[in-house]
Structure 1
Amino acid sequence: MSAEWQAIWLTLKLASVTTAILLVIGTPIAWWLARTRHWLRQPIAAIVALPLVLPPTVLGFYLLVLLGPRGPVGELMLSLGLDTLPFTFEGLVVASVIYSLPFTIQPLQGAFESVSNRMLEVAGTLRASALDRFFTVAVPLARSGFLTAAVLSFAHTIGEFGVVLMMGGNIPGETRVLSVAIYDQVETLQYEQAHWLAGGMLAFSFVVLVTLYLVNGRLGRGRLS
């Protein structure tokens, strides 16, 4: 497999794993943010949104410090006989999950906030438990939010550069993702190869957004009909 295809495969693998993890951990957080009135709601919402305004290299740097062999988490992992996460695929996953967190939670939170309390109350009168009401009422009504969260998280992970470069470096077949491969090619003046990869990412991003808008538009019309 060529270096370019290795980078493409690794990027798709990273985006898939990251999106799956984000949907699992992001759903309960988004539900809590949408329904709670606890005083911690705003601080936690701010923490979730922090990657939107924080430079990726800053986030990557602090993750590197935290998870490195001299960081508190890295030292703990070494004491348990485990390898540290920087410059590994697993480290890329951790960095990507944190960096793409708002792209999962914010669409889900918005979708959950639009779920009618009346419908949840009616389900409660039919003796549906809180868990039943969540899976049989809230989740189906928030399906557009799940779609948006999954697509945006996947696409955002594919486009990551600063945070994955800081956390994973540039190890072919291990941490060299597509954005880093394009940077390498530009740095070595291989513009033709860079055009192919960059053009592919541009076309992918455009198709993803158009598809998302079309599907969400149909789901919106379906709810109104």
Structure 2
Amino acid sequence: MTEAFFLSFKLATLTALTLLVLGLPLAYLLAFKRLPFKPLLEAVLLLPLTLPPTVLGFYLLVLLAPDGALGRIGLDWAFRFEGIWLGSVIFSLPFALTAYREALAAVDVEVLEVARTLGVGRWVRWRRVVLPWIWPGLLSGTLLAFAHTLGEFGVVLMVGGNLPGETRVASIYIFDLVQALDFATAERAALVFVAISFVLVLAVRTLEARWRSITGYGTR
């Protein structure tokens, strides 16, 4: 059980950090920039919200197979940890992206304009104005992506299979226990999941409340 939970935490941590690096610039573009075909871009990025995990996992499996489009250029990550990491990033992107975009949308543009007219540089504005304003929202979105990845089953199973120490995360481990009729061990593992999920959801809600108290967003 320890090995499966360690792998789940490793996957969730790497996925959340990747989404923070990739999702914040994407959220900034969607929040502040006038992009051509913006609705189409949003639809593509948010598509995993409506796709069944098995469908997304199937197409990723095809792409990451040795003879797939990505496999032929060296990304033959099917049934490997790298594959379930990529699948988790794509599947959890809408959750992080929505939270990041909402946080950025609450930034008072007039404050940024005043700082700009006073000669404050772009990076200083981000560090001194934007980040203090949005950090609870960023952390909330990152924790939400972490929690979503931690409990993911369908995409991970489709792309990574069930390889101990490589792709068998905690959710698949519990499924195996139930299949083997080992309900006692499955119950203990499930209770660990419940406790972790409760703490994460409580942290997300606390951060959201703090962010709204700072920005006043959604209270006016």
TM-score by length of structure 2 reads 0.93
Q: Which residue of 2 aligns with 1:207?
A: 199
Deviation, 1:222, is: 4.5
Q: Which residue of 2 aligns with 1:167?
A: 159
Range that drifts further, 32-41 or 118-127: 32-41
**Secondary structure at 1:142's aligned position in 2?**
helix
Pair 1:195-2:187 in alignment: yes
Selected match of 1:130 from 122, 125, 132: 122
Q: Deviations over 1:6-57 (max 9, x none)?
A: 0010000111111111100111000110001223221111111111110000
Matched residues in 1 for 2:9 and 2:35: separation?
38
Q: Which residue of 2 aligns with 1:43?
A: 40
| Cα 1:182–1:53 shift into 2, 3 Å | same
Deviation, 1:223, is: 4.8
Point out where structure 2 has 5 or more consecutive residues left out of the alignment: none
Matched residues in 1 for 2:14 and 2:176: separation?
25
Matched residues in 1 for 2:210 and 2:112: separation?
24
Selected match of 2:6 from 9, 34, 37: 9
Q: Which residue of 1 aligns with 2:59?
A: 62
Residue identity matched to 1:134: W
Residue identity matched to 1:8: F
Deviation, 1:148, is: 1.2
Alignment: residue pair count: 216
**Secondary structure at 2:70's aligned position in 1?**
helix
Q: Which residue of 2 aligns with 1:32?
A: 29
| Identity within the alignment, % | 44
Matched residues in 1 for 2:69 and 2:204: separation?
41
Range that drifts further, 215-224 or 62-71: 215-224
Matched residues in 2 for 1:27 and 1:159: separation?
23
Selected match of 1:115 from 107, 113, 122: 107
Residue identity matched to 1:182: I
- Structure 1 segments, 4+ long, off by >4 Å, are none
Pair 1:76-2:77 in alignment: no
TM-score by length of structure 1 reads 0.91
Pair 1:19-2:16 in alignment: yes
Summarize the alignment of residues 170-189 of structure 1 with structure 2, pairs less than 5 Å apart. 170-189=162-181
**Secondary structure at 1:160's aligned position in 2?**
coil
Deviation, 1:210, is: 1.8
